[in-house]
Structures are given as structure tokens and as C-alpha cells.
Amino acid sequence: MLHKAAFLFLLTAFGASAFAQAEFRVTVSELDDRKAVFGTVQSVDVVAARARIGGTTRGLAVDEGSAVRAGEVIATVEDPKLGLQMASLDARLRALDAQRKLAQTELDRMQKLRVSGTISQARLDEAQTNLNVVTGNRAALVAERAVLEEQMAEGAVLAPAAGRVLRVQVTEGVVVMPGEPVAVIAAERYVLRIELPERHARFIHEGDEVLIGERGLAPGDADSQRKGTITQVYPEMSHGRVIADVEATGLGDYFVGERTRVHVATGKRETILVPAELIRQRYGVAFVLVKGEGEVMVQPGQRLGDEIEILSGLKPGDILLQH
């Protein structure tokens, strides 16, 4: 009898504890009132790869959509005149080398003759000056050749930043002028650019958290949404709309200009949140068990984690029980 009484006592205590834990008092919670807008994937920086010299394009290595690295050669601009100028400079250098060799030989001979007293000091100084002039002319020509080499190296059109090619402005064999764009590149850093009506401008701030839907224009559900952060709010409105940029992970595979849904907080509202485990569905209708009333039909709204918003059917103070 003693063991049976102890067992009944423990059973009663456990049941009361479980019953107490299953109770949930309905209260009013404050939520962000979110508005769904379309965000457009944009590159933070769109830069042009330009030709630095004029000439004919050769070796075009990219097409629309190509991924490039910063400093990568995407095309080459060739100017035939530069090659002819280089050949001319090389010929002049060879001539100056011969003149320098001759002037050095003449100077050596004059130095020997001066030692024997055959010639005057003036003749020796003249020979030394001739060698100095030839040496100086050759140094100037070497510098001129270095400038021409750099100009020829500038025929390589370099990608100014890592990213993807949006547009290729030329084709193979086209003549381009200095400064003319060869390709337009979107830098690797992408953002979602959103536009909100003017009436919501006071609610949006840098650092606010937003929810981003699945890729594409489908509404999706709350479980598929991911978080983003507003990084910039532009101070100028356009056509009655405030523009802001949202940063989020995973935008690198999107097309530039692709749109997706972004849910932005535009104020606060009061609502009732109930643990999802307390709601039962039968024949497409949702019910909760209210203490003292029994089952009550409710209208559920969006799901927020482990809780579901209740749009109607409950009031603050109601106590819900586990089914």
C-alpha cells in the first residue's frame, strides 16, 4: 500500500507539472510591419577597361559574362607605327655605338700623342668632348627607346577591377582611339538596390535588417528568407521614391539587373504570437485549445521561427493548453 500511494503521488505531481508547463498565456507582441519590394542586383562599381593608345584591336580574350581578374589582359591594341619607330631607334643606337667606339679610339690615340708632346692640350680636349657628346646622345636615345617600349606595353588593355564583363564594346580588328572603352566590367561586390515610396522614407535607416526572398520573383515562404543589411540610404529621392542599397551574401551568382523580393520594415504593429505546437489543423482549419472554452478556431498568419502569428480568434489573457 505504501508503494502504491507513493506511485500515485508521483504520478499526480508529474501530471500537474506537465499541465503547468503546457499552459501559454496570450499576450500582445510588437512586430516590424514589413513591406515587400523588389530589389535589383547592381554592382557597386561599374568600370570601363579603356584603350591607352590608338590602334587596331587584337587578341580579344573576353565576352559578355566572362569573369576577369584585376590587371588581366583582355585585349591588345597594336599600332604598326610604333614598331617602325622602334626599328628606327635601334638603327640609330647602332650608329651611335659605332661613333662612340670611334671617338674612344680617337681619344686613346690623342692621349698617347699628348704624352709624347706631338699635339696640344686643345686637341686632346676636343677628342674628349666628342666622346662625351656621343655618349650623351646615346643615353638620350636609350631613354627615348624606353618611352617607346612603355607606349607599346600600353597596348595591353587591362581589366581595372575583378568582376564580370557586362558589355564588350569592340570586335577583333576594330580601330580604337586612346581612351575609348573596350569593355565594361561590373566589380565583384554586388548589392540589392531597392526603392520605397516617399511615405516610408522616415522608417528606413542604415544598419536596418531586411529579409530577402528566394531567387526569382516567386513570393516564397518565411523559411526560405535570408537576412540582409541596409548599407546606404541615398539622400536624394527619385520620382517620389527613396533609394537604398542592401548587402547580403550569395549575390555573386546573380545576374546584374536580376530582381528578387526584399521585405523592409516600415513601422511597428501589434499582434499575437502563439507557439506552433499549440495549433492543430483539421480539414484545412486551425484550432487551439483555450482553457475554460475548449477548442477555438483561429486564423493563422505568417510563421516567425517557432511561433505563428494569429490574425483573429484569440484575445490577450487567453490561456492555451496543449492538445
Q: Which of 155, 181, 193 is nearest to 48 (CA)?
A: 181
Q: What is the CATH number of the domain that holds 205?
A: 2.40.30.170
In this predicted model, what pLDDT tens digit does every residue of 172-229 receive, in sequence order?
989 999 999 999 998 878 889 999 888 888 888 898 888 888 776 665 555 567 888 9
Q: What does the alpha-carbon distance between residue 213 and residue 248 come to, in Å, rounded to a whole number?
A: 11
* Same-domain check for residues 170 and 259: no
Q: Which of 190, 221, 226 is nearest to 209 (CA)?
A: 226
pTM listed for this prediction? 0.58
* Same-domain check for residues 212 and 300: no
Residue 6 placed within a domain: no
* Same-domain check for residues 71 and 170: yes
How, if at all, do strands 294-304 and 259-275 pair?
unpaired
pLDDT surpassing 60 at residue 167: yes
Q: Which residues contact 38 (CB under 8 A, 6 or more apart)?
A: 194, 217, 259, 260, 261, 262
Q: Which of 103, 116, 303, 310 is nearest to 222 (CA)?
A: 303
Which percentage of the chain shows pLDDT scores above 90? 32
Cα angle at 54 between 51 and 60, to 5 degrees? 50
* Same-domain check for residues 314 and 218: no
Q: Which of 262, 257, 264, 204 is nearest to 40 (CA)?
A: 257
Residue 4 placed within a domain: no
Q: What does the alpha-carbon distance between residue 47 and residue 167 come to, in Å, rounded to a whole number?
A: 11
What's the whole-number mean pLDDT along residues 80-91? Answer: 92
pLDDT for the residue 143: 95
Residue 204 placed within a domain: yes
Residue 314 placed within a domain: yes
Q: 186 to each of 90, 215, 239, 278, how far by Cα in Å?
A: 42, 20, 26, 50
Per-residue pLDDT band at 140 (split at 50, 70, 90): very high
Q: 78 to each of 68, 146, 266, how far by Cα in Å?
A: 22, 17, 57
* Same-domain check for residues 90 and 208: no
Q: Which of 43, 52, 42 is nearest to 73 (CA)?
A: 52
* Same-domain check for residues 83 and 162: yes
Q: What does the alpha-carbon distance between residue 177 and residue 296 come to, in Å, rounded to a whole number?
A: 78
* Same-domain check for residues 205 and 101: no
Residue 15 placed within a domain: no
Total domains, the chain: 3
* Same-domain check for residues 61 and 41: no
* Same-domain check for residues 85 and 175: yes
Among 223, 242, 267, identify where a domain stops. 267
Residue 230 placed within a domain: yes
What domain range is 101 assigned to?
A: 47-183
Among 183, 198, 227, identify where a domain stops. 183
pLDDT for the residue 42: 87
Among 165, 183, 201, identify where a domain stops. 183
φ, ψ for residue 48 (rounded to 5)? -110, 135
* Same-domain check for residues 201 and 263: yes
Residue 149 placed within a domain: yes
- Determine which helix (DSSP H) or strand (DSSP E) holds 39, and give its type and residue range: strand 28-43
Q: What is the CATH number of the domain that holds 281?
A: 2.40.420.20
* Same-domain check for residues 81 and 71: yes
In this predicted model, what pLDDT tens digit does every residue of 237-295 receive, in sequence order?
888 889 999 988 877 777 888 888 888 888 788 888 888 888 888 888 998 888 888 88
Cell of 274: 502563439
- Furthest C-alpha separation in the chain: 146
* Same-domain check for residues 221 and 242: yes
Residue 247 placed within a domain: yes
